[in-house]
Amino acid sequence: MRFSGVTIDVQQHYFLDKSFLTSSCDYEEWDTPEKLCHLLFESTPLIGEVCLSSEQYHDFSERGHRLFAKLVKENGVLSRLEKQILSAAVVFQVQREDADRVDEDDTGDHLWRYILKNLGFDEELFACKESKAYHILRNLLQETLRISTEHGKKYYNTLKMQALAPASSISELFNIIYQFYRKNLECQYDEAENAFQILSQNIQKKIIRADGSDQINLGSSVWALKSSLKVLFQYYPEYMAAVCDAIAKKIDLYLRGDDPGFCDCNRWDVLLQKWFQSKTKEERDNMQRVRARRVRQKIITTKEAIRPQYLMQDEELTIRLPHIRLPEITQPPVARLYQNGRVVAQLRMSVYGDPMCYTTQEFTFELDHLQGISFNDCFDFQVEIICGDSVLYDSKALLFRQYLVFNENGYESLPFKCQNGKARIVAPANAEVKIIDADDNYFDESDNFQIFQVSLLSAQEIWVNDVDILAQEDSKNLSVHGYCIPDPAKGVAIISGEKRFQIYDRVPTLHVVLGENTSAKNFRIFIDSTRHSLYEYIGDKHTGEIDLPSAARFCHRIQIVEFHTGEVMFETAYIILRQFSVSFANPYYFNQACTGDVTVKFSGGTYTHSFKLLEDQETVQFPLLGNGLDISVDVPKINITANGENVLYWSEKKWHEDIPQDTFIKVSRPTDLQIDLVLGNKFIPKPRRGNVYEIGNLICTIERENASIPFGALIRHEGMVDELKIAEIYFLPTFLSSPLVREDTQIIWQPEDRFIGPARPVFTVELDNDLTDEPWIYKQLSAGKAFEKNFSCRPGRYECRVFLEPDDDNPFAIGIRRQMVWEETFEIEEEPERRFEGKSIRLLKTWFWSCETQKVEVAKIHYNDAVIFDIDYIGMSDFDGEFDFPVPAYEGILCFRSPDQKWNYMNNDPENERYENVNPVSFCIAHENRVKVFNADEELLQLDAMVYTETGYVRIKNRKWDCTVEEERRRFPIADEFEFREEDDA
């Protein structure tokens, strides 16, 4: 058996008091309490971190009995180890008491009586008063335990703290840590974080400030923590920071699908496993999805690591600041931008988290849209971050540029680093820019600044204010470029081992470009492993074209290598597949686990592959050419995220307050699709830049006229429009189904997963009754428990209403009235034998299957054609298997009124061959206002529907007709049910 404290892996990050240092505790098998205590008291600050098996607890209990009797009854002296065993036995009894106790309320007196009882104490047997035994035991614990407290009910708190009890308080701590991990850390656990010290310190502040004036919101209220944990946070915050850190680490491991290393003899671990198990499968799956969806972006935690950077986003020039988390950020900071020493912008940065631990959102200055920007000046920008009155960061000269070079992904780069030779050159508006490109392969995208899209593979020179940008590469000793014409197939590659080969449908030509002071004599070119001098191909020129191998279905590899160093300066690998194309069975797939078919065609052959993809998996790979050659194809996936969370996993019903105001929707899609986001019957405005939609603020502005509004997307492709409903967003609280479950005379409160509305709602239920003019009122309802145990009023219908009470703790809720969120009616029926006393039943409407229309038809019955008189209760029956269980059954006489206004029996003579054997009929109630009626042969009644299609009416078949079986099926269908009305029996 091996026990290790939950902080063992993280305690080195914290300045723990010596008494709180922990170490591993190893022993091969269970032997005796002496063996465990010898190790435990030396290595564990809190004895309750150990969780015993039933056998071990039994051993400790027996040893505790004997030692307590020796100490009190026999006035004996205990050794140090015996004192430790007795103290540990008491701690483990506190754990057991916590597990056995149903009522949350607990008092110190109750706990001590429980302990003494379990130690076998008896005043007469021990010849000792309970108070004396209590003091003897109390003094022993204070002397023996490694950690105790002098605060509050110090002995009670010491025991609870040592036992890590109650478990409900530990569960609340897990709630707080998870909410902090999700909200403040965005599901990003980092062993080097200082966040848990901030968490522990702020919980400590919250506990000390009893009035709650610090306004720190811990998600799950800190006041749910019991005194034992409050003492640990208040007086040992560094230890609790280590505990929170270790728990968060295990939560992170569990949610990402790795083994957290739970130890079944560690109470922290056991309770954490129970906490996970207490969540529904849907909740656990959602927790894992949230963690998986959060895009891991670098969060800066030191001032020295802050690096603003230039970006080219959707043709616009920006300066971006990363996510920043520093203890000095105590409020949303301000970002100030200078140009040439002038303030041109001052904007407040968005943050997430709360005063416990703020993190700034990624922040961007959009230079093209700042009115104070001078587009003629050099890029002499400076950024300051100001928090309160302090300058948190100053970029100084870090952002000074004479010109900017961006790669095809929009990141600032150097020319020789731009992949595929594609770049954008940005210069001030009045700068002198000259581009020498033999292929004239560049585009002027000037707007405010001068922006040029260029190919560095064909451009020979690029001058900005007499500075040759490409010449700057010489100092980097990288002066060879290469590119192939035509372009390879997009989104596909042939895979051999770990090597990717681009696919061409015809033979490509390699274009080589050398720097101005570079000679081809300095390079070798390897073509399919055959070595040549580059000089053989281009001579003294600085550009040249090289015909590449044309063999189809073979993998080719081209390298240009520096002669002296052997450094590879350029490399490409390709394969030629004639008439190559790729197509998918569907035009797109959603970013979820999905299946599909992809078809690859080349050289007259067609190959179809069925695939299964996981979420976030965007590439399918399968064998294609044999000899270990696979093809990798990018799947056209649509991904829609809200602050990094996949909205395709949102619940179908979503409360509007669960969508924070700073929520942004990001859409990624195949280039040949167009996607519009829709809220209700309105399009969400498209962003001024990029593909990020600001939905949080939009939802906050919606008038609360509608109870709910659908949120979805319109997907346009190839002239078609597909509708995708993502969620129904609710603005008025409501129940999706009844929270009231009636079982016999009990009514049980069951709101789980049925309520859409504010978190932590408070409900009141009003139930009408027959005893008073006032309804019965129920408050502080407990889920799963009966709030009305004897609802046995007189027969009748009673309304029940559920109200949502305003949040008294919310200052904005003042003046808000309670809202009715559910209403339903309970019916108490009369005893079956009295159900139809003095009553008759008039049949009004019937349902039947029509052989002509092949569907269920509904027809009216002539007003005087079907009334059942003389009704008697005949007991319970399942009507020969018509019902799964017996129901109350009744018998009566089915009559019709003749033109002389007299009531006439339908046939009740079984010997009469001219008429159906109708009476007496039997019937039962099928639904609230429907009955099933059976004739004297216990068969469902037949209908006369010969004129139904003309009149919409039917009669109940009384006379027999001479017709074929097919004619009878068509003209005389069987009545399934009848709608009825009760009347006084005349």
pLDDT digits (tens, 9 = 90+) for 26-39: 555 566 788 778 77
Cβ(377)–Cβ(339) under 8 Å?
A: yes
Across 527-560, b (16+ Cβ under 10 Å) vs e yields beeeeeebbebbeeebeeebebbeeeeebbebbb
- In tens, the pLDDT along 707-732 reads 888 999 899 888 788 889 998 999 88
Tokens of 965: 């079986």
- Which strand (E) or helix (H) includes residue 132? helix 130-144
- Residue 36 CA to residue 624 CA, distance in Å, equals 62
What is the pLDDT at residue 511?
A: 79
| Separation between Cα atoms, residue 491 and residue 577, nearest integer Å | 15
Instruction: Determine the pLDDT at residue 333.
Output: 92
Q: Determine which helix (DSSP H) or strand (DSSP E) holds 54, and give its type and residue range.
A: helix 54-68
CB-based contact 619:632 (threshold 8 Å): yes
Longest dimension (CA), the chain: 123
% the chain with pLDDT above 70: 89
Instruction: Express each pLDDT in 92-129 by its tens digit.
Output: 999 888 888 766 556 667 888 888 888 888 888 888 88
- Under the banding of pLDDT at 50, 70 and 90, the label for residue 664 is confident
Q: Which position has the token pair 């095809």?
A: 408
Residue 740 sits at φ, ψ, to 5 deg, of -110, 115
Question: Is it the case that residue 697 has pLDDT exceeding 60?
Answer: yes
Q: Do residues 576 and 596 make contact, with C-beta atoms less than 8 angstroms apart?
A: no
Question: CA separation (Å) from 863 to 111, 180, 362, 856, 980?
Answer: 75, 69, 75, 22, 11
Task: Report how far apart, in Å, the C-alpha atoms of 64 and of each of 57, 100, 128, 658 are.
Answer: 10, 19, 18, 52
- Host H or E run for residue 407: strand 404-407
**pTM: predicted TM-score of the whole model, two decimal places:** 0.43
- DSSP-derived letter for residue 367 is G
Comparing 565-569, 588-592, 906-910, the range with the smallest average pLDDT is 565-569
First to last CA, the chain: 85
Nearest alpha-carbon partner for 230 in 338, 156, 320:
156
Evaluate whether 887 touches 924 at the Cβ level (below 8 Å).
Answer: yes
Checking if the pLDDT of 561 tops 60, the result is yes
Q: What does the buried/exposed string (b/e) look like for 715-731 if buried means 16 or more CB atoms within 10 Å of the residue's CB?
A: bebeeeeeebebbbbbb
What's the rounded Cα separation, in Å, for the pair 847 and 943?
10
Reported as type and span, the H/E element at residue 255 is helix 237-255
Tell me the mean pLDDT in the region 683-702: 70
CB 415 within 8 A of CB 470: yes
Q: What is the mean pLDDT of residues 658-671?
A: 82
Dihedral of CA 597/600/606/609: which sign? Answer: negative
CB 629 within 8 A of CB 617: no
Question: Is a pLDDT exceeding 50 seen at residue 814?
Answer: no
| 2 has pLDDT over 60 | no
Pairing mode, strands 480-485 and 509-514: antiparallel
Per the rule left: phi > 0, alpha: psi between -120 and 50, beta: everything else, 970 is alpha
CA 789, 792, 798 angle in degrees (round to 5)?
100
The candidate with the shortest Cα–Cα distance to 817, out of 803, 797, 829, is 803
CA gap 308, 300 in Å, rounded: 11
Integer Cα distance of 748 and 199 in angstroms: 39
Question: What order do you get walking across the sheet with 594-602 strand by strand?
Answer: 581-584, 594-602, 605-613
How many alpha carbons lie under 13 Å from residue 891 in its C-beta half-sphere?
A: 13
Per-residue pLDDT reduced to its tens digit, 591-626: 888 899 999 999 888 999 999 888 888 889 898 887
Cα 469 from Cα 452, distance rounded (Å): 13
Q: What is the pLDDT of residue 215?
A: 44
CA 213, 218, 222, 224 torsion-angle sign: positive
**Does residue 62 carry a pLDDT above 70?**
yes
pLDDT value at residue 598: 92
What is residue 749's predicted lDDT score, i.e. its pLDDT? Answer: 92
Q: How many CA atoms lie within 13 A of 739 on its CB side?
A: 28
Give the pLDDT score at 336.
Answer: 93
User: What is the pLDDT, as a whole number, of residue 603?
Assistant: 85
- For the stretch 180-222, pLDDT in tens is 888 887 777 777 567 888 888 888 888 886 544 444 455 445 6
How far apart are alpha carbons 813 and 934 in whole angstroms? 59
Find tokens 């309490």 and name the residue.
Answer: 33
Q: What is the mean pLDDT of residues 233-245?
A: 88
pLDDT above 80 (res 223): no
Q: Which has more confidence, 819 or 565? A: 819
Give per-residue pLDDT as tens, 427-473.
Answer: 888 777 888 877 766 766 666 788 888 888 888 888 887 667 776 54
Does residue 808 surpass a pLDDT of 70? no
Nearest in space to 956 (alpha carbons), one of 904, 889, 911, 879: 904
Q: Residue 332: is the preceding peptide bond cis (ω within 30°)?
A: no
For residue 950, give the H/E element and its range: helix 948-951
Tokens of 616: 């976030």
Ramachandran category for residue 891: left, alpha or beta (phi over 0 → left; psi -120 to 50 → alpha): beta
pLDDT of residue 517: 67
Whose tokens are 């400790």? That residue is: 60
Identify the bridge partners of residue 776 per DSSP, sorted by sequence position: 767
- Which residue's structure tokens are 């036995």? 89
pLDDT tens figures, 125-148: 888 888 888 898 888 888 888 888
CB 410 within 8 A of CB 418: no
Distance CA 649, CA 389 (A): 43
Looking at residue 686, what is its pLDDT?
Answer: 67
Please determine, for residue 775, whether its predicted confidence score (pLDDT) is greater than 50.
yes
> 3-state class of 546 per DSSP?
strand
Q: How far, in Å, are 35, 763, 923, 963 from residue 780 at the CA level?
A: 49, 7, 45, 68
- The count of other CB atoms within 10 Å of the CB of residue 281 is 7
For 337, the token pair is: 């931008």
Residues 6+ apart with CB under 8 A from 214: 202, 205, 206, 355
Considering only CA atoms, which of 253, 206, 259 is closest in space to residue 233?
206
Checking if the pLDDT of 527 tops 60, the result is: yes
- Whether the per-residue pLDDT at 325 is higher than 70: the answer is yes
